[in-house]
Amino acid sequence: MWWFYRRGPSGFSGASTAEEVTAGIDGRGMVAVITGASSGIGLETARVLALRGVHVVMAVRNVSARLAAKEAILAKVPEAKVDVLELDLSSMASVRTFASMFESLNLPLNILINNAGVMTRNCTRSSDGLELHFATNHIGHFLLTNLLLENMKRACRDSGVEGRIVNLSSSAHVMTLAEGICFDKICDPSGLNDFIAYGQSKLANILHAKELSRILKGAASTCYVAMHPRVKGISGKYFTNCDIANPSSQASDTELAKKLWQYSLQTVSS
């Protein structure tokens, strides 16, 4: 485990906390939208950004968890500026409604953190007829980003502060990426045993990461990329432990990225 504590070029390691990597950073006057902000890394990210003075808009699916999440932050950061809005990323209608509600707040947007994700072994479709993982983890965030992009551009022009969009990835998304070559492919029941076996191995990875996050406050890289001055001007890179890292060959495939972008545009426009 020695490597976990080894500091990289950023000066931080896998053991660094979100508070450590944002120490001394003044986020006052900035606004951030964080999806999946009611629990886990999303909630910790919201708390730390609020601690640094950022006005945080928590986008959450579970209505009953909304107020509890906000109160949890205010209990630790009484002066925090926090709004909570409902968002179900598996529904394009919900994404559009969220974007409209956000615009009605008349706030600029400086930081968008696409944190939420779903993992299920059930081969189900979203309300829009898409495979659920693909709909929630990718299409929902893709549409949300597009709908909020003009606000971010405007905020950047008005303030002179660089806007940042942070897309989180985890072992849960490896399954989506593997299917993502066919994009909206629905699970084939004939391959269900292999699918479950693969899913269980990934679930083990996730449970490990989840427990590690609980112990070490695993939102460090998210907050670092969202706020740290060292990241200014850096775009389209993959970070781990606050340092630039090399993703898989598929994740580096430019042509696949272009095809996915075009497919996503067609999907959200239909």
Within 8 A by CB and 6+ apart from 41, the residues are 115, 168, 213, 218, 219, 222
Residue 3, pLDDT score? 54
Residue 2, pLDDT score? 52
Residue 81, pLDDT score? 97
pLDDT in tens, 77-108: 999 999 999 999 999 999 999 999 999 999 99
pLDDT in tens, 181-214: 444 444 433 343 334 423 333 343 344 334 544 5
Round the average pLDDT of the chain to a whole number and report it. 78
Pick the residue with more confidence: 2 or 246?
246
Q: Tokens 């490597």 appear where?
A: 3
pLDDT in tens, 14-39: 778 889 989 999 999 999 999 999 98
State both tokens at 97.
């409604």
pTM over 0.85: no
Catalytic choice (198, 224, 238, 263): 198
Residue 252, pLDDT score? 67
142 touches 264 (CB < 8 A): yes
Count of other CB atoms within 10 angstroms of residue 45: 30
Q: Tokens 């999806």 appear where?
A: 35
**Assigned superfamily of 19-269:** NAD(P)-binding Rossmann-like Domain (3.40.50.720)
| 263 catalytically annotated | no
